Amino acid sequence: MTGEGQTSDIGLIGLAVMGQNLALNVAEKGFKISVFNRSADKTDACVARAQKEGLGGNLAGFKEMKDFVASLERPRRVIILVKAGAPVDATIEALSEYMEEGDIIIDGGNEWYENTERRQAALKGKGIIEIGMGVSGGEEGARRGPAMMPGGDADAYKYLAPIVEKVAAQTDDGACVTYIGPGGSGNFVKMVHNGIEYGDMQLIAEAYDLLKTVGGLSNEELAAVFDEWNKSELESFLVEITASIFKKKDEYADGFLVDKVLDKTGMKVRGRGWRLLLSSDDRRRRRRRGFHPAGLVCGGGRLRRPKNVVGRPSKRISAYGFEP
């Protein structure tokens, strides 16, 4: 439906597949949601999807930012799902022109936590609150139920909780969402979450390589091994889908699809890259304060242990490690 006359519980900006799916999830849970995208064709596509899925009564699309903001209940709550960095800054700048004191912006992208804290400080002068919220589960999770990690102002989160607790994935232990803490803690936890996941994928890749190249296992045997692992304490989504990958035949040629995939990969900054940057920066900060990460005090070109640490005598450090 178009946005005329609707008062929505929450708004969402950024209607790529992830944003569309999360908007439809919100609408499906019975909340009214307004949506906006810089390019109007994606707004039209989202509205059309909502109507096709029988959710048109809960989702309204807007072509102008001013009308979008005016459609929201106070305090206004707006989720942003756009590319991290400058696009988030530009969106917040345009959005805050129409928002008022007490309104809440929720950045649901994979953002560097210090950027979130910078924006929180900048918006504070206007009385606008920002929450940085990690969202995990990909496109399918956004539609069916993601895990969410909100961080920022605790009082502001109370206005968001009733919605995200229904939209999140549900388990026997409750919804897969909890308030993480102040500042950029939500984004920080999502960064660590991504890093752990990428580490798991690296372990799976190395296990595959060893079993195939050293152990000589066929794809059928590899699938059986991973199926067995998934029945043990290693049970996980990643192990489960790895077993499925080994079973997948090439639809257009003989053989298995996994054998046709180029043995090459890259690294996204939001997982391992940010964690490496953080670790490096943390080491530099501690060295500037006079402490080495291993608990050694720097001084005079040497590393010596603090007086309260019992251990071997100090050793001179070289480019390759410690020298006697």
Element (DSSP H or E) covering residue 298: strand 297-299
Tell me the C-alpha to C-alpha distance, in Å, between residue 49 and each of 8, 27, 42, 54, 64: 18, 12, 10, 9, 20
Exactly one of 114, 139, 165, 197 is catalytic; name it: 197
CB 68 within 8 A of CB 57: no
Retrieve residue 179's tokens: 């308030």
* Number of residues that this document lists for the chain: 324
**Cα–Cα distance between 241 and 230 in angstroms, integer?**
10
What DSSP character marks residue 311? Answer: S
Helix (H) or strand (E) holding 237: helix 237-247
Catalytic residue among 28, 111, 117, 190: 190
**What is the residue type of 257?**
L
Judged by DSSP in three states, 268 sits in coil
User: Could you give the CA distance from residue 248 to residue 226 in angstroms, rounded to a whole number?
Assistant: 14
Q: Is 228 a catalytic residue?
A: no
Phi and psi dihedrals of 61, rounded to 5?
Answer: -105, 145
Rounded to whole angstroms, how far apart are CA atoms 24 and 36? 13
Catalytic residue check, 28: no
CB 79 within 8 Å of CB 12:
yes
Q: Which residues are catalytically annotated? A: 190, 197
